Amino acid sequence: MSFSQDLLTRAQPAMDAIMVHPFLKAIAEGNVPDDVLNYYVEQDEHYLKDYLTITALAVTQTDNHEDIAKLLDVAQFIGNESKAHEVMLGITGHQVENWRRGPETLLYVNHMYESAYRGTYADTLAALLPCAWSYEVMGRELVAAGANNEQNPLKEWIELYAPNDDSKSYTIWRFEALDREVAKLTPQQQEHVAQTFLLSLEMEWRFWEAAWVQERWQFNI
């Protein structure tokens, strides 16, 4: 069993929890409350800016030309995600405001920055990967369930994350790269990479939850 295959087995409980989260159920039904959508978009805009920065850091950590090209493709896709936010804001009529990063958003991006600055290239890949992987799984499952029907106002957003075939996947190559990179590491370092991945996946669930409950700072200091 490869490192990534073992990692996905360990990650399955968290992924299962994400897929049954009430926010995702509401997306499938096309009836997400406006205030939840607004919170999600505001926080995801913050998150994507940091994700883009950390992706750029990953480019500087490798001399693998294929990885560099793929990471640049990821950076371009992030621009499409920002456009997808316009779909959500078009539903609610909301304008993006100068909101602070929420507690979970800040915790998540700080985890990714720490992984990128203090860890190996494998750690950076592991910190970034759960976002892409979980959204791709989500997109595929929502499309398979018929959630991208014409009556769903989030149809376009759902389809953004559901590649038509594996050649368009943003995650397969990353797991392959992760397997290649961890082969260079000690068992202790490999477990650190695994924990980095699993923590990012935990933060994915928490990101959905924070939007669903509209988590705020206790004190507006």
100-138: per-residue pLDDT in tens? Answer: 899 999 999 999 999 999 999 999 999 999 999 999 999
In angstroms, rounded to a whole number, what is the distance separating the alpha carbons of residues 218 and 177? 41
Q: How far apart are the first and last CA of the chain?
A: 49
Considering the domain boundaries, does residue 37 fall inside one?
A: yes
Considering the domain boundaries, does residue 111 fall inside one?
A: yes
Give the per-residue pLDDT at 203: 99
Q: What is the pLDDT of residues 51-73, one digit of tens each?
A: 999 999 999 999 999 999 999 99
Considering the domain boundaries, does residue 218 fall inside one?
A: no
Considering the domain boundaries, does residue 219 fall inside one?
A: no
Indicate if the pLDDT at residue 164 is higher than 90.
no
Indicate if the pLDDT at residue 168 is higher than 60.
no
Alpha-carbon radius of gyration of the chain? 17
Give the per-residue pLDDT at 2: 96
Give the per-residue pLDDT at 105: 97
Considering only CA atoms, which of 81, 56, 54, 103 is closest in space to residue 209?
Answer: 103
Considering the domain boundaries, does residue 204 fall inside one?
A: yes
Considering the domain boundaries, does residue 57 fall inside one?
A: yes
Split into its structural domains, the chain has a count of 1
Structure pTM?
Answer: 0.93
Instruction: Determine the residue type at 155.
Output: K
Mean pLDDT of the region 2-28: 98
Mean pLDDT of the region 9-19: 98
Q: HSE on the CB side for 194, CA within 13 Å? A: 18
Q: What is the pLDDT of residues 17-47, one digit of tens each?
A: 999 999 999 999 999 999 999 999 999 989 9
Indicate if the pLDDT at residue 96 is higher than 70.
no
Indicate if the pLDDT at residue 91 is higher than 80.
no
Instruction: Determine the residue type at 35.
Output: D
Considering only CA atoms, which of 214, 221, 190, 212 is closest in space to residue 3?
Answer: 190
Mean pLDDT of the region 188-193: 98
Cβ(30)–Cβ(91) under 8 Å? no
Helix H segments across the chain? 3-19, 22-29, 34-60, 65-92, 103-118, 121-144, 155-160, 172-182, 187-213
Domain holding 31: CATH number? 1.20.910.10
The residue range of the domain holding 98 is: 3-213
144-165: burial string, b at 16+ Cβ within 10 Å, e else? eeebbeeebbbbebbbbbbbee
Considering the domain boundaries, does residue 220 fall inside one?
A: no
